[in-house]
């Protein structure tokens, strides 16, 4: 199975909003609400920021929100801050107790 498709890069100025898409198929994103997003700084452990499409774990800023339409999930980061820079990965259940990650999106705060 192929990785989920994310844009390689995204950017925005401080205070702006940016949306990152994650496209799969009806066998993964389209067929399940088991979609999560992770924020990753190279050299560190990834951090869970969204689970089950739109839920935020305790302690994660309200500026992060998730949604899904058809085979595409989206992560929106509002009120961009310098600390939001880094790599963002989506992941989805793909049936048969396996998971797929997206290729990752590098977010730059201008």
Partner 1 sequence: QVRLVQSGPDVGKPGASVNVSCKASGYTFSAYYIHWVRQAPGQGLEWIGWVSPNTGGTNLAQKFQGRLIMTTDTSIDTAYMEMNGLKSDDTAVYFCARGYSGYDPVFDFWGQGTLVTISS
Contact positions vs partner 1 (CB under 8 A): 1, 3, 34-36, 38, 40, 43, 45-48, 51-52, 57, 87, 89, 91-93, 96-104
Residue number, 47 or 63, with CB nearest to partner 1: 47
Residue number, 80 or 89, with CB nearest to partner 1: 89
Minimum CB–partner distance for residue 8 and partner 1 (Å): 10
Minimum CB–partner distance for residue 65 and partner 1 (Å): 17
User: For residue 11, what are the CA distances in angstroms to 5, 46, 56, 80, 82?
Assistant: 17, 20, 22, 9, 11
Residue number, 36 or 71, with CB nearest to partner 1: 36
- In sequence order, the β-bridge partners of residue 2 are none
Please return the burial class of 73, using the count of CB atoms within 10 Å of its CB with bins 0-12, 13-18 and 19+.
Answer: buried
């Amino acid at each position: 199975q192929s990785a989920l498709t994310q844009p390689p890069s995204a950017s925005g100025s401080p205070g702006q909003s940016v949306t990152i898409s994650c496209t799969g198929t009806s066998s993964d994103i389209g067929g399940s609400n088991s979609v999560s997003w992770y924020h990753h700084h190279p050299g560190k452990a990834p951090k869970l920021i969204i689970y089950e499409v739109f839920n935020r774990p305790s302690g994660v800023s309200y500026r992060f929100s998730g949604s899904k339409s058809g085979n595409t999930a989206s992560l929106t980061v509002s009120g961009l801050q310098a600390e939001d820079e880094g790599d963002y990965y989506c992941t989805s259940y793909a049936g048969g107790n396996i998971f797929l990650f997206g290729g990752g999106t590098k977010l730059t705060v201008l």
